[in-house]
Amino acid sequence: MSAYFSFQASPSLAKDLETVLAHLDHHDTAPQAELYVKMSIEMTDAILQVLLLDLVKATGSKSGVLEQLAGLLRGTMHVLLRQLLAKRDNDELAKAAVYVHARRRYLGSTLHVAIPLSDSLRTRFEAVFMEIDAGRGEANREELRVAMSDFVDQAVSGFYDEFVQAMPMGFLMSKAAQVARATIFKGAHAAMNKMIPSLSQAELKGLADYFDGFLYSDPVLSAEPVA
């Protein structure tokens, strides 16, 4: 059984994602770079919203560390996406679209954006969330911090590394991508390491309830829409 972290795409993102993939899959001759950039920025913003900004709201934390990180990563990724994608022809974008296909899943007929998680990490989240639900969150902060740290590793791999690997690029763009990855990786780990140890039981409960809502296993999600 496969585990996923998955969230529902907004109507705008779903429309743009489906449109650009359909055009590339059917070898449309009209240039797709502008729409591909728009879709990629929308996907990036959605990921940051779910993983950082809405997570802050769910916990009720006032630390501000995740909001600051979201702003930094949004600026970094917007610049990188325009640099990487804006001048690509359709053949190059079709190669990059392999990544988008891999992230696309459906809950019934609803489009989701999903990354695979290891079964062991899903099991660890379930165990620590159970402890938090039982009122023992403060005694399990370290277990949650380690699990979230491992989640950061898998999220960076699924949302960033696979995107970069699908995109042919030269030396300068490769360096820019490496710098962006370092910013994302270090910033996300630092933010989790700073925030989680300071959360109260109520804040930990908010985080657990929120995050658990994005964890899925096959066959709940499917590769094609189900009416």
pLDDT of residue 1: 56
pLDDT of 51 higher than 80: yes
Long-range pairs for 189-193: beta carbons < 8 A, 24 or more residues apart: 189/149, 189/152, 191/52, 191/65, 191/66, 191/69, 192/145, 192/148, 192/149, 192/152, 193/145, 193/149
SS3 at position 141? helix
Q: What is the pLDDT of residues 126-162, one digit of tens each?
A: 999 999 999 999 999 999 999 999 999 999 999 999 9
Residue 169: predicted pLDDT: 85
Mean pLDDT value across the chain: 93
Q: Is the pLDDT of residue 167 over 90?
A: no
Which one, of 149, 155, 107, lies nearest residue 124 by Cα?
149
Q: What percent of the chain has pLDDT over 90?
A: 86
Residues 24-46 have a mean pLDDT of 96
Structure tokens at 193: 């390491």
